[in-house]
Amino acid sequence: MRRQLLPAILMMIVLTLVLGIGYPLLITGIAQVGFAEKANGSLIKVDGKAVGSKLLGQTFTKAKYFHGRPSAAGAAATGSDATDPDHPNKTVPNDPKDLTQDISSGSNLGPTNPAFLALVKQRVKDYRKQNGLAAGVKIPVDAVTASGSGLDPEISVANARLQAPRVAKVRGVPVARVLALVDGNTHDASLGFLGAKGVNVLELNVALDRLK
């Protein structure tokens, strides 16, 4: 084995230089020249200032905005649940110094875990209350379940349509106009059949703010 150690070491050095330094630098060069906007996070700007990324979900709690899906982002990195099971919709002001708050994470709650079921039950109740829905109305599953990344930028069309009357009421605009915006910010599945259709929450809310 000792005779093979020298080529092993030399090979590791050569490959690290080529694959670990040269290759990513080449790709970064191509990225920054040819795909700069996407390679830097697909930022959405309002009045020249970035307000988020098209690809990253962000927290919305105000009634005038559409709300994204529940999220467990940050839970893993901070070691605690981002949402308090007792008050899933109580939001804690973000600590600007805590950069782990947006670390991607699913909840990883199991399907039969009582804590998970309690959380869903509470979310259903809160969702109905926020949107003025009757007790019998079934809630779209994405509205009461956390996404895999905790950063899902989208909600389902069904979820958006149920929120539209609330948003329209708070903003004092006709529901039809809000629903038209929902349609305008709905992304079909890639090529029409790969993946699923969804509404980009940040793009929709930016468009809402532009309504005069």
Partner 1 sequence: MTVAAWLQFAVLVLLIGVSIPLLGGYMAKVFGEEQKAPGDRFFLPIERAVYRVCRVDPEREQRWTVYAFSVLAFSLVGVLVLYVMQRVQTVLPLNPTHAPKVPEALSWNTAVSFVTNTNWQSYFPETTVSHFTQMAGLAVQNFVSPAVGLAVAIALIRGLTRRRAATIGNFWVDLTRSIVRIFLPLAIVGAIVFLAFGVVQNFHGFEVIRTLEGRTQVIPGGPSASQEIIKMLGTNGGGFWNANSAHPLSNPSGLSNIVQIYLLSVIGFSLTWTYGKMVGDKKQGFVLLAVMVIIWVTVAGLGTLFELNGNPKVAALGVDQSVTAAQPGGNYEGKEIRFGTPASALFAGATTGTSTGAVDSMHDSYTPLGGMMPLIHMKFGEVSPGGVGSGLSGILVLALLSVFIAGLMVGRTPEYLGKKIQATEVKLVVLYTIAMPFAVLVGTGIAIVTPSVLHVSIFNPGPHGFTEVLYAFTSAANNNGSAFAGITANTQFMNIALGFAMLIGRFVLIVPTLAIAGALARKDRVPASAGTFPTNTPLFAGLLLGVTVIVAGLTFFPALALGPIVEQLGI
Footprint of partner 1 on 39-58 (CB under 8 A): 39-43, 46, 49-53, 55-58
Under rule CB under 8 A, which residues in 133-162 are in contact with partner 1?
135-142, 144-159, 161
101 binds partner 1 (CB under 8 A): yes
Position 117 contacts partner 1 (CB under 8 A): yes
Provide the sign of the torsion angle of the four alpha carbons 34, 40, 43, 46, taken in this order: negative
C-beta of residue 193 within 8 angstroms of C-beta of residue 153: no
For the segment 22-41, give every residue that binds partner 1 (CB under 8 A).
23-24, 26-28, 30-32, 34-35, 38-41
CA angle (90, 76, 144) in 5-degree steps: 45
Q: Which position among 84, 94, 180, 184 is part of the footprint of partner 1 (CB under 8 A)?
A: 94
Is 84 one of the binding residues for partner 1 (CB under 8 A)?
A: no
Using the rule CB under 8 A, is 11 a contact of partner 1?
yes
Contact between 192 and 202 under an 8 Å Cβ cutoff? The reply is: no
Question: 208: closest CA among 184, 178, 183?
Answer: 178
The SS3 call for residue 29 is: helix
